[in-house]
Amino acid sequence: MSRPSRGYRVFQSANAVVHTLVVAVTLYPFVNIVARSFSGERQIRAGKVSLWPEGFNLTTYKIVFKDSMFWRNYGNTVLYTVVSTAVAMVLTTCYAYVLSKRHLRGRTVLVGIAVFTMFFTGGLIPNYVLITSLGLKNSIWAIALPNAISVFNLLVMKAFFENMPSDLEEAAQIDGLSTYGILLKVVLPLSKAVVATMALFYSVSFWNSWFSALLYLDDAERMPVTVYLRNLILGSTGGTNAGAATDQLSQVGANIQAVAILLTALPVLCVYPFVQRYFVKGVMLGAVKG
């Protein structure tokens, strides 16, 4: 490596500044929201809260924790995420496994059926009309079924299965295992990494989803917590079912959004450091292998 020139050293310092800025701009909102969630109402209004809570109090946390609707919706999110992810994993794994068999007659068509939907979709209204007339409205299936296969995840899994040595499967076949047996007892145990990654992809997207719930669920009690948060942000619910006193109410107005944002994001923020690299790997696999 040649000695860095002066210009390059200047560039490196500038680059360091840029990266510091990127990190600061990304993280600041989170820190600020944490600080707000613990702050007093007057201090927030006066714009005094930046990186550290001012006028520390937990009133809003107490109110949100006492709000039965919040917990019910939180529970709904957990339920929807688990069920939808399970359905999605079964369908995606089955189809990816079928598509990975190069000798299969009609494979091109089967792949085409899936890939075409990446470029053209039915659109909001026909989907809405369909779900309504299938009678799925107000049930968990309106959320789980229409999103059961993400073509991107499907292609990542297919690429993984294709790269698996075929000897093992052939040996298992000779030993008398059926296709189902091979998939369950040979292929899946060897694919724990990709299965776990795909389950993560799906569960994060179901955890974060809100629009299908808004479209297809009518009852506030059935909503996931993301819709609770959305209503809070739009100001259509005060989150005041807990029967708060007036001074508590103004406290709530100032930082209840911060508290709800934090509590909704919390699970993702907690697992994020551990799962982030799997996501990156998954995306690269999908990109490189396609």
Partner 1 sequence: MTSPTVTGEAPGATAAPAEPPPPKRRGTPKARRTWRQALRRDWQLYSLAVLPIAFFLVFRYLPMIGNVIAFRRFVPGGSVFGEEWVGLRYVHMFWNDPTFWQVFRNTLWLGGLTLVFCFPAPIVLALLLNEVRRSAVKRFVQSVSYLPHFLSIVIVAGITMQMLATDGPVNHVLGWFGHDPIRFIQEPEWFRTVYVGSEIWQTAGWGTILYLAALTTIDEDLYEAARIDGANRWQQTWHVTLPGIRPTMITLLILNIGTFMAVGFEKVLLLYNPLTYQTSDVISTYVYRTGVESSSFSYAAAIGLFEAVIGLVLITSSNFLSRRTVGTSLW
Which member of 10, 58, 79, 112 binds partner 1 (CB under 8 A)? Answer: 112
Q: What are phi and psi of 124, to 5 degrees?
A: -60, -50
What's the CA gap between 81 and 224, in Å, rounded?
10
Q: What's the per-residue H, E or C state across 257-286?
A: HHHHHHHHHHHHHHHHHHHHHHHHHHHHHH
> Of residues 123, 165, 176, 243, which one binds partner 1 by CB under 8 A?
123
What is the C-alpha to C-alpha distance for residues 81 and 272, in angstroms, rounded to an integer? 17
Instruction: Using CB under 8 A, pick the residue from 52, 56, 65, 272 that binds partner 1.
Output: 272
CB burial of residue 133 (10 Å; 0-12, 13-18, 19+): exposed
**Contacts (Cβ under 8 Å, ≥6 apart) of 267:** 207
Q: Are 89 and 195 in contact (CB under 8 A)?
A: yes
Instruction: Choose the stretch contacting partner 1; rule: CB under 8 A; options: 66-74, 188-196, 244-252, 253-261.
Output: 253-261
Tell which positions 160-219 bind partner 1, by CB under 8 A. Answer: 178-180, 183, 204, 207-211, 215
Q: Which stretch binds partner 1 (CB under 8 A): 64-72, 123-131, 185-193, 238-246?
A: 123-131
**Of the candidate residues 10, 11, 171, 175, the single one contacting partner 1 (CB under 8 A):** 11
- Of 34, 82, 110, 190, which lies in the binding site for partner 1, with binding defined by CB under 8 A? 110
Return the amino acid letter for 93. Answer: T
**Which of 149, 157, 194, 198 touches partner 1 (CB under 8 A)?**
149
245 lies in the binding site for partner 1 (CB under 8 A): no
Instruction: State which of residues 68, 108, 138, 166 lies at the interface with partner 1 (CB under 8 A).
Output: 108
18 belongs to the binding site for partner 1 (CB under 8 A): yes
242 contacts partner 1 (rule: CB under 8 A): no
The span from the CA of 264 to the CA of 119, in Å, is 32
Residue 117 as a binder of partner 1 (CB under 8 A): the answer is yes
Residue with tokens 């494979």: 107
The sign one gets for the Cα dihedral 205, 79, 88, 128 is negative
Which one of 52-60, 61-69, 144-152, 188-196 is the stretch in contact with partner 1 (CB under 8 A)? 144-152
Is 79 near partner 1 (CB under 8 A)?
Answer: no
Rule CB under 8 A: say whether 104 interacts with partner 1: yes
- The residue (of 243 and 282) whose beta carbon lies closer to partner 1 is 282
For the stretch 98-132, what's the b/e string if a residue is b when 16 or more beta carbons lie within 10 angstroms of its beta carbon?
bbbbeeeeeeeeebeebeeeeeeeeeeeeeeeebe
Cβ proximity to partner 1: between 125 and 243 the closer is 125
Residue choice 10, 58, 79, 129 for contact with partner 1 (CB under 8 A) = 129
DSSP H or E segment with residue 40: none
| Number of chain positions touching partner 1 (CB under 8 A) | 102
Per CB under 8 A, does 240 bind partner 1? no
Q: How far apart are CA 35 and CA 277, in angstroms?
A: 28
Q: Which residues between 49 and 78 bind partner 1 (CB under 8 A)?
A: 50
